Structure 1
Amino acid sequence: MTRLQKITFGEMRAAGVRNVLIYCTDDTCCRCITVPDDADRWPDELWISDVEDKFVCTACGQRGADIRPDWAAAKTRA
């Protein structure tokens, strides 16, 4: 499966976003968690899509995730 390339962690931080939403890619699980300040652990030049295959769902064991910036949390901080 080919995933779309998303923004970099540096671009995300520059937009004021520090939290990420991590979605399980298993259609029957669909677990979603919010990870606060997770963007700070990754280098600026790294694409969000480059780390998605490193995640494993703790609920169902599925490898791979859909990671998105938590734009809503960034708006509440402003």
Structure 2
Amino acid sequence: MTLANMREQGVRGLAVYCLNHSCRHHTVVNVDRYPHEVEVPSFGRRLKCSKCGGKRVDVRPNWKEASPVQDWRGRPVMPSED
């Protein structure tokens, strides 16, 4: 998936999770300044944990930012948490 694909779905940030079992830190990184053609997995090689310094991180789109999915009537498919 590219940043362009991700942005088309209303997502502008990446969720980054530290894979160090003694740390497990996570954060959301805004990637607005990067070009559309950049692949999401490529950020895993570029980032390290800001808490423990580990380079083993999992990177994925922050789907919590995505636009709600609607059915054919324009109603939300999943109820909101509000």
Q: TM-score range by the shorter chain?
A: 0.7 to 0.9
Q: How many residues align?
A: 68
| 2:55 alignment partner, one of 55, 63, 70 | 63
Counterpart code for 2:64: A
- Structure 1 residues not aligned, in runs of 5+: 1-6
Identical amino acids, percent of aligned pairs: 32
Q: Please provide the CA RMSD for this pair.
A: 1.7
Instruction: Give 1:45's aligned residue.
Output: 37
| Larger of the two Rg values belongs to structure | 2
Q: TM-score, normalised by structure 2?
A: 0.70
> Is there any run of 5+ residues in structure 2 with no aligned partner, and where?
69-82
- Runs of 4+ aligned residues of structure 1 deviating over 3 Å after TM superposition are none
TM-score under structure 1 normalisation?
0.73
Matches within 5 A, 1:1-78: 7-35=1-29, 38-75=30-67
Distance 1:23 1:48, change over 3 A: same
